[in-house]
Amino acid sequence: MSEQTGLSSRRRDTATLALLASIAISLLMASSAPTPLYSVYQQEWSFGPLTTTVVFGVYAVAVLAALLVVGRVSDHVGRRPVLVVALLMQAGSMVALIDATGVGVLAGARVVQGLATGAALGSIGAALLDVDRARGTLLNSAAPAVGTALGALVAGLLVQFLPAPTTLVYAVLLTVFVLQLVGVAWMRESVERVPGGARAALRSLRPEVAVPRRLRGPVLTAAPVLLAVWALAGFYGSLSPAIVTTLAGHRSFVLGGLGLFVLAGSGALTTVLTRDLPARRVMALGGLALFAGVLLTQVAVGTGSLVGFFASTAVAGVGFGAGFQGGLRTVVPLARPHERAGVLSVLYVVSYSAFGFPAVAAGALLASGGALHTTSVEYAVAVAALAVLALLGLARQARSAAARSAAARPGTCAGTCPEAA
């Protein structure tokens, strides 16, 4: 009987992990689904690149606001209530996008979408770790990349080959969110509510970016690479359709979403392949691949090579996947159960700061008369600089760890012993 009970429990845990991962994937799919549609909206509503990146940026700002305000709430009230509210909001944003008739409605729906995503991300990540720390850590790293990749590609395919291009993808996602609401209603709560949880939950609504003291060192180590990988994702989400259209010489919705798909898809594959390597080695791989990928991408753009652009994007995607996974694995396993949602929210605050604001700045440069290639180069330089900063930080951490190890060995003075008589 006990063996059957254990088997049933493992199956339930696996089903819960699958549900939580599917929610993370669909949330990120919804965030990247408009990418190939921006050119359609531009034609229908007559707006330029600055408006495109502002619509893109308000989503990231809304995610940040939700992470700062409600990112820690599920540590006090449980994961399920937060997920139910977030999925209801996300479903509402899909309805608004289906009926969107102008930029104002589009931007408003993206704000609601961002608030829902920000509220859910920390809760999903924490719940994955509650259920199974090993598998949960891997899914935390892979799910955002998978969702980002699929959203851009699926939207591009639907827009290119099926009718109702600006409504069908949102109708499909709306159906998915309703089904996931049913799944969350079935799901067992993964964390115990702490005494005084309601009062603590209200206190947690005060915007705060804070981590436990013992985790500050790992967070500072991970921050530069998280900034770099999500700045790169922001670049592809906002500007890669325009770059691909320029390189291809014609507009294709599938090609427009393919840049982000290749970046995030390569990242998701890298996450799986490097899951057993030490976290800092994975982060180092991420920094190196990011640096190489963004430089090769600019060479491809400068020479007008569409094939080279996608090939170098795949290299950059290795950096995206390895950098994000290495950053999370450096910090998340060290968090206690009632710290997990808060710590993950801080990491997502770092990530989405880089995801939204640089993209808006790039749109402003284009709107003020900057050339697409010049703006692309400037963005790439910023990402490469962040990658170098991350590598330098890792090297410094490695030297410090080696010095501590040498000092801890018996009979070793690390150069501080007095001369022997």
Low-confidence ranges of the chain (pLDDT < 70): 1-7, 49, 71-72, 76, 191-210, 356-372, 401, 404-405, 407-421
Instruction: Supply the pLDDT for residue 204.
Output: 54
Let me know if residue 355 belongs to a domain: yes
Let me know if residue 412 belongs to a domain: no
Dump pLDDT digits (tens) for 288-343: 999 999 999 989 988 889 999 999 999 999 999 999 888 888 888 888 877 777 78
Instruction: Supply the pLDDT for residue 421.
Output: 35
Q: Residue 122 maps to which CATH number?
A: 1.20.1250.20
Q: How far is CA 9 from CA 3, 14, 137, 187, in A?
A: 10, 9, 20, 13
Instruction: Supply the pLDDT for residue 420.
Output: 40
Let me know if residue 370 belongs to a domain: yes
Domain count, the chain: 1
Instruction: Supply the pLDDT for residue 164.
Output: 80
Let me know if residue 237 belongs to a domain: yes
Dump pLDDT digits (tens) for 211-245: 788 888 888 888 888 888 888 887 787 777 778 88
Instruction: Supply the pLDDT for residue 5.
Output: 58
Quote the tokens at residue 269: 């594959």
How far apart CA 182 and CA 197 sit, in angstroms, is 25
Instruction: Supply the pLDDT for residue 418.
Output: 45
Let me know if residue 393 belongs to a domain: yes
Instruction: Supply the pLDDT for residue 208.
Output: 61
Instruction: Supply the pLDDT for residue 317.
Output: 93
Let me know if residue 419 belongs to a domain: no
Residues 135/231/118/99 CA torsion (nearest 10 deg):
-120
Let me know if residue 137 belongs to a domain: yes
> Could you give the count of Cα atoms lying within 13 Å of 281 in the half-sphere of its Cβ?
5
Let me know if residue 9 belongs to a domain: no
Domain that holds residue 23: 14-187+214-405
